[in-house]
Amino acid sequence: MNSNYHTKTVTELSAMLQAGEVSSVELTRYFLDRIKSSDDKLNSFITICEQQALAQAAESDEKLKAGNAPALTGVPIAHKDIFCTDGVKTSCASKMLDNFISPYDATVVKNMRAAGVVMLGKTNMDEFAMGSSNETSYYGAVKNPWNLAAVPGGSSGGSAAAVGARLAPAATGTDTGGSIRQPAAFCGITGLKPTYGRVSRFGMIAFASSLDQAGPMGQSASDCALLLNAMAGFDEKDSTSIEKAVPDYSADLNKPLHGLRIGLPKEYFNIKDGGMDAAVEAAINTALDQYKAMGAELIDIELPNSALSVPVYYVVAPAECSANLSRFDGVRYGYRCDNPKDLNDLYTRSRGEAFGMEVQRRIMVGTYALSSGYYDAYYLKAQKCRHLISDDFKKAFEKVDVIMAPTTPATAFNIGEKTDDPIAMYLSDIFTIAVNLAGIPAMSIPVGFAKSSTGETMPVGLQIMGNYFAEAKLLNVAHQYQQQTDWHKQMPEEFKA
């Protein structure tokens, strides 16, 4: 059997499948074997769907033989365990849903299946997507493939680690405050958060309804383009879904960048006093020099209200999570405590025993912010500040085509380093949160390496932000960079074989 399938991108594997150079069954077995042999080091999967995956692969092979199969037919991928999957456990990495078998597919899963992909399994994540390090999972922390002592980022850390270690060619993720882009940066892969409403949220278990958005995670921008082609689209089952035609995101990948106007927000680059790491900034500046060499123009801009992003987010997101998680009460489905004395005891013990500490912390903060007497002071004021942040982006995009900044202020930190300091943990998302508050698309691409605080060489991510529904532009900008560099092709030593 070919031992190098894991070095191929989704784009390359798709071409091989279409040409009959490999079967989907062979490819699926290959990646299932990699998961079995290597995931004990990473803990990136919660559920492995071996029998289902092989059945889907056999079905894909029949479609490939018949001809005219969609581009992704037979390509194996993984789904974040926040997406409902018919007949397969959907846990959100929580004890609360450890016994929940979904009776239906999320629209993202349904769309990907219609496009012909094979589901290898469900990836680990921060519990209910609440976290920045993938340490809050009921199933244990996920490890970073570049340094097993470090975090992979969160909440889509399982997806990022699996793709980074090439245990799966690609995966789905969700991004509420940076949960696709931050782990993509930490694990040296490409991840895209689309415009809010571009991808259906139906069947994606809600954390913060006005912020959550699903997106693709892969090795390259061209991979993400193929995946987004399948994921995006209007869904009548989702009231936040936008009824707007889906372009072919692969069509403009090869457009030259001459004349591209890149905005550099001073607020993202002038972080001092323990803010942005100097080695990360150096890698970002080298990438910006590459863009200049490709014909782009760098323009200094201001996003004056971006400093409000973290406090605004940590009022809005917990408030919405408090409302969304109220349904998990021990009555209808999910965990139920033993021998409750009465209804109140059932509620309080079921929730207290099944929710982890970070989830409980956010529920408490959110309930407080929404409570009588505090709603106007906290939640309403946060929403007003959110409009200011959104307006900053709108003004900036009158002058520039895209905005670039670091994805994270530093490389991946070690497991356990920030678990006792929630504020330090929250600040690891300082560069990503504003995008979700504004609802615009953004992505992270690997642009080099920097030494971590412990001396390890770790990946650095460049964040590219665009105007509403400018995903095709972002993918083009990222792809052109990846045609000139090979950072996205780098693999951790431990997982090269």
Torsion of CA 27, 191, 477, 430, to 10 degrees: -170
Residues taking part in catalysis: 80, 155, 179
Question: Any idea how long the chain is?
Answer: 497
Closest by CA to 379, choosing from 450, 449, 315, 475, is: 315
Concatenating the DSSP letter of every residue in 2-68 gives -S-GGGS-HHHHHHHHHTTSS-HHHHHHHHHHHHHHHHHHH--EEEE-HHHHHHHHHHHHHHHHHS-
Compute CA 144 distance to the chain's CA centroid, rounded to the nearest angstrom.
15
Task: Give the helix ranges, DSSP H, for 181-274.
Answer: 181-187, 221-231, 266-269
Residue type, 468: Y
Residues 6+ apart with CB under 8 A from 141: 43, 133, 134, 135, 151, 415
> CA-CA distance, 323 to 435, in Å (whole number)?
22
Q: Which helix (H) or strand (E) holds 437?
A: helix 433-438
| Residue 269 phi, psi dihedral angles, 5° rounding | -110, -15
Sheet with 118-123, strands from edge to edge, namely: 45-48, 118-123, 76-80, 170-175, 213-218, 190-193, 442-451, 457-466, 402-406, 261-265, 297-301
User: How does DSSP assign 155-178, residue by residue?
Assistant: SSHHHHHHHHTTSSSEEEEEESSS
Interacting residues of 187 by C-beta distance below 8 A, sequence separation 6+: 144, 145, 146, 152, 153, 157, 160, 161, 163, 164, 412, 459
Cis status, amide bond into 155, omega within 30 of 0 = yes
Rounded CA-CA distance 131/128 in Å is 9
